[in-house]
Amino acid sequence: MIIKRYILAAVAVFGIGITGLYADMPDVDYTASVDPFIGTANYGTTHPGAVVPHGMMAVVPFNVTGSALNRYDKDRTWWSTPYDHRNSYMVGFAHGALSGVGCPEMGAIVTMATTGEVAPDCELRGSEYIRESASPGYYTATYTKYDITAEATATERASVERYTFNSGGNATIYVDLGTALSNESGAMLRRVSDYEVEGMRILGTFCYNSQAVFPVYFVARLSRAAQSTGYWKLQPEMTGIEAQWSGDSGEYKLYESYSREIMGDDIGFYFSLGDVAAGEEVELKIGLSYVSMENARRNLEAEVGNRNFDEVRESARAAWNKVLGRIRVKGGTESDHTRFYTALYHALLHPNLLSDVSGEYPTMERGDIAVCREGERYTVFSLWDTYRNLHQLLTLVYPECQSDMLRSMVEMSKEWGWLPRWELYGRETYTMEGDPAIPVIVDSYLKGLRDFDVEAAYEAMRRSATTRGESNPIRPDIDPYIEDGYIPVGWFAQDMSGDNSVSHALEYYVADNALAVYAREMGDVAFAEELERRAAGWKNYYCKEYGVLRPICKDGSFIEPFNPEDGANFSNTVGFHEGSSWNYTFFVPHDIDGLIKIMGGKQTFVNRLWHLFEKGYYDPTNEPDIAYAYLFSRVRGEEWRTQRLVRELIDKNYTTEAWGLPGNDDTGTMSAWLVFSMMGIYPDCPGEPYYTITTPRFASVEIDTSEGIVSITVERSSPDAHYIESMTLGDKPLKRYRISHDELLKHKELKLKLKQYEKD
C-alpha cells in the first residue's frame, strides 16, 4: 500500500494529484476571476496566501502593525489569521494557516529574507511592503526595507518561496518557530546541512481548549549553500510581561551551529548567505507533515523534488483551474464572476489534507500513526458551520473528495469512539454545539455517496444520540433532551457565554431528524420513530405570547424576563449562542410545516419571517439563520420574496473588496452560500436531499456531477426580469420550488423563464 502511494505521489509531481481526479485542464483560466484578497478584512479572516485545493500547505503572509506582534502586549490586535488587508507590516510567510475561522491558531513556521545584520526579533526584522499581488496558488510582495521581492507558491503538502534581492546585500534567510497565532509555543530545530534545517512546532488549544494540542513537522531546504548557519533563542530571563524589545539589549542569544539541535520556546534558525548580487534569486522549499520530519521530507521530495518555482506555480494554477472549471457560468457582470469564483475558491480550502504521500496520518485523539486504506485523510472539520451547505456543495460537484471526507469522519469514530464536531488535526476542539456530522453523513448517503463504512457510521451516530450525558462528549446535555424533549436553562454551560440550551437543542433536533431517515434505511424502525418524536421537541420552546422560541426553566416555565432581541450581534444572552431568539426561531428546517401551523398559519408565518428581515434581525454573518431567505418558498405564492431577498442579500453582503464577506467565512460556509445562491439552488435543510430554487445570477450555469453535466439556464423578458414566471425540469413543466437531488441529476436541465414583478 505504501509503495503504491509513493507511485501516486510521484505522478502528482506532473500535475495529477487529488485535483487531477476532477476534470481535464479547461481552456478557460478560471483563476483570473478569483481575487484572494476578498474577505481579508472586516473579520472575514480569509487569507491571500499560496495554497492548492484542500492543501495541507498554505503559505500565508504574516502581517501585523508595529506593537501588535509583541507577545506581551495585552492589547495585541491580531485575529485568527496571520493576515489582515488593513495592515502594512510583514514579518514573513507562515506555513499552515486556517481560512475564515473565529479563533486564533496555526500560522507557525515563519520564514523571511533580509539583508544586513542577523535580526532574530521578528518585529524589528519585519518590513513594510509594496507591489502586493495574489492569485490562486501564488502570492508576492516587495519588502521596502530591504528591496527584496518575496514570492510563494504551493503543492498539496509543500511549498516553494523565491526571494529576489533586487539591490543585493548581505543576505539572511530566517526560519522562525517563535512567531505564530497558536496558543502553544514549544519547538525543536535541527541543522541538517548548509542547505537544510528540520524541526517541529507544537500547535493547538484552538478556541482555548487545552486538550487540542498537536505537533507539525517540517523540512526547509535552500537552493544554495549558506556561508554560515545558526540558532537563536529568547533568553529565559527576558520572558515576562515586563520584557521590553529593543533589538540591541540581548533579548536573544545566538548560537552558531554545525550539528547540534535546540529545543524550547521562541527559537529560530538562520541561513547567512553572505553578499548576494543585485537581482540574485534564492529559493526556499518546505515540506510539511503532521506525522514526522521524515514524512515532511518525503512530501517535499514527492511533490516538489527538483522542480523550480515557476514550474510549481504553474502546477498550482492548473490544479485550481481543474476544480474551479467544474462549474461554468455565462452571463452576469464581471463583478458577478469575481464574487462567484472567489467564493468557490474559498469553499475549496477546507477541509484539507492530513495524510502524507505515504498515506500516514495521526489518529484521532490518540496520536499514534495509521495508514489510509483508501483515499486520503482530511482534517479541519468545522462542522457546525459546514454541515449547512459546504458539504452539500462538495457532494454535488466534488463527490470524490466528499467521499474521502466521509471516510475520514467515520474512521475518526473508530479511533476515538465519536464522530467529530469541530475537529482540528486529529483533536476535537469541542467548539460550538450540536451533532453536525450526522446530517453530513445522512445527506451524502441519501445522495448516493455510500463508499464508506455505512454500518460503522450508523453505530457512531446511534452512540452519540443515545449515550447518557456524563459519558457523551458530543451531547453532554442529552439527558433532559431525551427525557423531556428539551434542555432547560442551567443544565449545562458549554462556554463563557453561559447557557446555550435552546441553541443546543435545536441542533440536536436537526441531527435526529436526519438520523431517523438513516435508521429507517438500516431497518431500525423503532429507533427511527423515537428520533422523529425527538425531532418535534422544538415545539416545547415556542412561546405564543412573543411568537418566537423562548428558553425554558428547570421547572418547565418560560424564562423571565425575556426580550427576543437580546443576543443580537454576538452579545451574550441566556439560551442562545451567538444570536438572539429571532436568529434561531425559524431554525427548524426539518419541520417548516409544523412551524407554520404553530404560528397560526401561512400568512402569520410569512409576516413574521418578513418582519425579521425588515427589522434587521437577520444576521448574515452567522449560520443559524443562513437559510431563512429560502423559507418563503415553502408557502405557495410567496416565492417571489425568496427571489428578491436572495438578490438583495448577495449585493448587500458580498462585494469584490477586501471586506467583501459579511463575517467570518467559517471555513467556506459563507462562500458556499454565495455559490449556491448565485447558481439558483440552495440546500435548505441539512440531512434532507433537496434544493430550493431561486433566480440564478447568470444566464447559464453548467455543473459537472457524478451523473454528467447539469445545466441551469434562464430566459429573461427584460434586463429587469428577476422573478420566476415558469420552469421546466428536463422537458416537463415544474410547478414546485423545491426539488430533490436525484431529480436534478436525473433530468439534468433546469430552465427558468423570468419576468419583471410589479412589486419590485
Indicate the domain borders of the chain: 2-324, 342-350+373-755
**Mean of pLDDT values over 54-63:** 97
Strand partners, 263: 188
Say if residues 143 and 151 touch (Cβ distance below 8 Å): no
Q: What percent of the chain has pLDDT over 70?
A: 91
**Mean of pLDDT values over 157-184:** 95
pLDDT at 496: 37
Give Cα 312 to chain centroid, integer Å.
24
Residue 618 neighbours by CB under 8 Å, 6+ apart: 583, 612, 625, 628, 629
Confidence of residue 236 (pLDDT cuts 50, 70, 90): low
342-350+373-755 shares the fold of 2-324: no
pLDDT at 4: 34
In the structure grid, which three cell numbers stand for residue 726, read together? Answer: 415558469
pTM here is 0.94
pLDDT at 117: 94
- Nearest C-alpha neighbor of 72 from the set 213, 265, 263, 253: 265
Classified by CATH at the fold level, domain 2-324 comes out as Beta-galactosidase; Chain A, domain 5 (2.70.98)
The pLDDT tens digits for 538-583 are: 999 999 999 999 999 999 999 999 999 999 988 879 999 999 999 9
**pLDDT at residue 128 is higher than 90:** yes
pLDDT at 593: 98
**pLDDT at residue 21 is higher than 70:** no
The pLDDT tens digits for 589-623 are: 999 999 999 999 999 999 999 999 999 999 999 99
Say if residues 57 and 157 touch (Cβ distance below 8 Å): yes
Say if residues 677 and 646 touch (Cβ distance below 8 Å): yes
In the structure grid, which three cell numbers stand for residue 583, read together? Answer: 436568529
Give the C-alpha distances (Å, rounded to integers) separating 393 from 177, 389, 397, 419, 671: 37, 6, 6, 21, 11
- Nearest C-alpha neighbor of 251 from the set 377, 374, 352, 125: 125
Give the C-alpha distances (Å, rounded to integers) separating 636 from 547, 590, 736, 739: 22, 18, 9, 14
DSSP, res 443: H
Say if residues 27 and 61 touch (Cβ distance below 8 Å): no
Place of cell 480550502: 349
Place of cell 448574515: 620
**pLDDT at residue 250 is higher than 60:** no
The Cα–Cα gap between 282 and 112 comes to: 12
In the structure grid, which three cell numbers stand for residue 184, read together? Answer: 502553544
The Cα–Cα gap between 506 and 552 comes to: 13
Strand partners, 175: 111, 269
Give Cα 143 to chain centroid, integer Å.
30
For domain 342-350+373-755, which architecture applies?
A: 2-Layer Sandwich (3.30)
pLDDT at 79: 66
Confidence of residue 17 (pLDDT cuts 50, 70, 90): very low
**pLDDT at residue 10 is higher than 50:** no
In the structure grid, which three cell numbers stand for residue 499, read together? Answer: 447557557
The Cα–Cα gap between 361 and 36 comes to: 29
